Structure 1
């Protein structure tokens, strides 16, 4: 059977040059992380396609990158948390059983959309759509990954005959590295609310595949306000301490600024009293690169 799954799928991919994967490149959040490690890799040749299964680890935990390299060198990839990879492995078994129960392809009995069986997986802000499809080239499993907040869809197409081989390779990696995604497992603090004059401030702690964060949102009240629209900022946990220190420094400076001047006491000016050292303000110059600024 000829190579299938790329004729009508519109896979957005780039040319892949060379034989090795880009270790340390794209991660589960598709951003570059210098501290990312590649723990293991497997390569499968299924028909005219190569599939790479890479177990990777960064500060947010472990995940598997699945990359498909077509006969023409085009590359597409998806990212699976370890727990999602385990769920995908189980779906591969059921899809394979269903595929085995099908008779020979019948061009006169193909659904309009080509779908023979579908499932959906949900992980944090990502959705995965599994579609066993049939077209003029044959039968294949299309796995699409989307982000709920918008963004491009990425997908790979696995020839149906290779589902068992792919499942077994995935099982070997999960047996070696487990199904734990890593990351924080404790209970997050409850949200807080602060009202000041005609404004409400909300402090909400959350977690996604990027890590733990604090969302600080503001909502104004009063007859002049036409909607309950909130404006918000998101502060990653890794800079909470620095964020707190900057606020504390401003609080301390404003507290001193509001104190009454004691220049009339002792008959000496602020810098004129014997034995009294002048007060040097603690000025934060935000030295360093822009990446370290808040």
Structure 2
């Protein structure tokens, strides 16, 4: 699956849709599919903030299930650790907070897309953390449905992309399979695109009266930076 799932389009096929109310907020969880693969779109609609959406690659769904299980299981008063989940070219941050209305879990997505960081704020649901538990159960149903679409119906703990569920609990901050390795792909215009973590670099060879060069352009959020490397200063291997 392409790691640039930073948005959706009208042509995407909806496979599963769930709506969940937690206290005064509504959450929409939609499992969708397009030519690049499957993904989970989670949107929050509340009274006091604009609608917010995060996009989770399908490989991250079992990790979301286990992370919500970790947070929902803390109703006995145990301490919770904020977590980071690198998935493909994104990083998801799970941060526990508290305000006069009670505990909440902020789930933020930081990716390579133009939206930058987007976040959901999920109330705990009270002393029993029923809001987080309901979120976990909804994610579990979606994971089971995703397995059926893939022909791999199985519990979340046995999902093929879920390698070490025990690593979610405890003091370890960073969990999950980690980011995708660097990848070099060709664009339609002949440019080479190097994806490294959350960054994209465009490599364009050229020539002028001084000789050959390669222009390296970094695209990150709304900023664009460029660098030209001449061939007589550094050997370029394609």
Tell me, in whole angstroms, the C-alpha distance in 1 between the residues paired with 2:98 and 2:14: 35
SS for the counterpart of 2:65 is helix
TM-fit CA distance, 1:83:
1.4
Indicate the residue corresponding to 1:68 in structure 2. 44
Residue pairs, 1:253-268, within 5 angstroms: none
Indicate how the Cα distance of structure 1 residues 150 and 41 shifts in structure 2: closer, same or farther if over 3 A, else same. Answer: closer
Tell me, in whole angstroms, the C-alpha distance in 2 between the residues paired with 1:127 and 1:138: 26
CA contact (8 A) 2:111 2:117 kept: yes
Residue pairs, 1:64-143, within 5 angstroms: 64-72=40-48, 74-98=50-74, 100-102=75-77, 117-143=81-107
Tell me, in whole angstroms, the C-alpha distance in 2 between the residues paired with 1:189 and 1:64: 23
Indicate the residue corresponding to 2:222 in structure 1. none
The reply on whether 1:29 has 2:6 as its aligned counterpart is yes
SS for the counterpart of 1:117 is coil
SS for the counterpart of 2:29 is strand
Tell me, in whole angstroms, the C-alpha distance in 2 between the residues paired with 1:102 and 1:76: 29
The reply on whether 1:51 has 2:24 as its aligned counterpart is no
Q: CA-atom RMSD, angstroms?
A: 4.2
In the TM superposition, what whole-angstrom CA distance separates every residue of 1:39-61 from its partner, at most 9, and x where no partner exists? Answer: 11111111111111111111111
Tell me, in whole angstroms, the C-alpha distance in 1 between the residues paired with 2:114 and 2:201: 21
SS for the counterpart of 1:95 is helix
Larger Rg: 1
Tell me, in whole angstroms, the C-alpha distance in 2 between the residues paired with 1:48 and 1:28: 29
Write 1 or 2 for the structure with the bigger share of helix.
1
CA contact (8 A) 2:202 2:216 kept: no
Write 1 or 2 for the structure with the bigger share of strand.
2
CA contact (8 A) 1:125 1:149 kept: no
Tell me, in whole angstroms, the C-alpha distance in 2 between the residues paired with 1:80 and 1:189: 20
CA contact (8 A) 1:83 1:180 kept: no
Tell me, in whole angstroms, the C-alpha distance in 2 between the residues paired with 1:137 and 1:229: 55
Task: Indicate the structure whose relative CO is greater, using CA pairs within 8 Å and at least 6 residues apart.
Answer: 2
CA contact (8 A) 2:6 2:113 kept: no
Runs of 4+ in 1 over 6 A off after TM superposition: 188-192, 204-209
Indicate the residue corresponding to 1:218 in structure 2. 205
Unpaired segments ≥5 residues, structure 2: 126-130, 148-158, 162-181, 220-238
Count matched residues.
Answer: 174
SS for the counterpart of 1:71 is coil
